[in-house]
Amino acid sequence: MHPEIIETVRRALAEDIGTGDITTELTIDAGRKAVGRFYARQEMVCAGTELLPVIFERADKLEIFLPTRAHCEYGDCIAQVEGDARLLLTHERVALNFLQRLSGIATLAKKYVDAVHGTKAKVLDTRKTTPGLRRLEKMAAHAGGVTNHRMGLFDAVLIKNNHITACGGVRQAMERVRDAKVPVEIEVRTIEELDEALEMGAKRMLLDNLTPEQAREWIARIAGRAVVELSGGITLETIRAYAEAGPDFISCGAITHSATAVDLNFRIQLQ
């Protein structure tokens, strides 16, 4: 597991527990053993179960019945953990927070992927993630079938409209990235910019805030000379129309910034 993820989990535990779980310490005898089970309370795509061994690393036993990417029905038992009752209670909320948030993203991602089924379009996530949780949230999006876009500003060039404005135009921007050693994509806002980007050898183009009809026209104009990504306010209700316009990719920030946490619970039994 990536060290960044382990550190994120440990920070979450430290944030919640602080100097100690005073409620559990006052109400539960030291040394009591228990078993706890995580249950799905809705249909969902599971994500985040790979974090449980880190969250419950001092537990006696952990069993994961429905791993990340698994489809869950209401009432399904996702995982079971056995060990010190105080440990289980103290780590319960952090485990639920991660599972609920990440499974919510995976569940919404699957809906977007299903909506474009039968077209050539692949759904991309974006950088519109919770600060500090990007790697986890992108893992969750991937669990739902989404293709991960760039991780950050460091692993690909994406020339957006503000870059073009600040640089003085499409031509100037493309000239500056000619020797980039990473993938290069450019956003175009007008037909003139589109033509200029193609003349400059653009191999990947981002078409933003078009209607499906406009997207179809622009994609026809590109005629396979560049890979095409569509973005800009595309919803679960409209993504099919955009996919049928013929893009290679559709990016949807809502998958991470607007996913609703799923309903899970944790039930404990003393042994």
Active site residues: 93, 128, 160, 187, 208
**Tokens encoding 2:** 């990536």
Cα 271 from chain centroid (whole Å): 38
Burial level of 241, CB count in 10 A (0-12/13-18/19+)?
Answer: middle
Structure-token match 């800009």, residue found: 232
One-letter amino acid of 82? E
Angle at the Cα of 104 from the Cα atoms of 208 and 131, rounded to 5 degrees: 65
Asked whether the beta carbons of 110 and 83 are under 8 A apart, the reply is: no
Contacts of 169 (CB under 8 A, 6+ apart): 196
Cα 190 from chain centroid (whole Å): 30
CA 140 vs CA 81, 87, 100, 243: distances in Å: 22, 26, 11, 22
Contacts of 205 (CB under 8 A, 6+ apart): 185, 186, 187, 188, 194, 197, 222, 226, 227, 228, 229
One-letter amino acid of 8? T
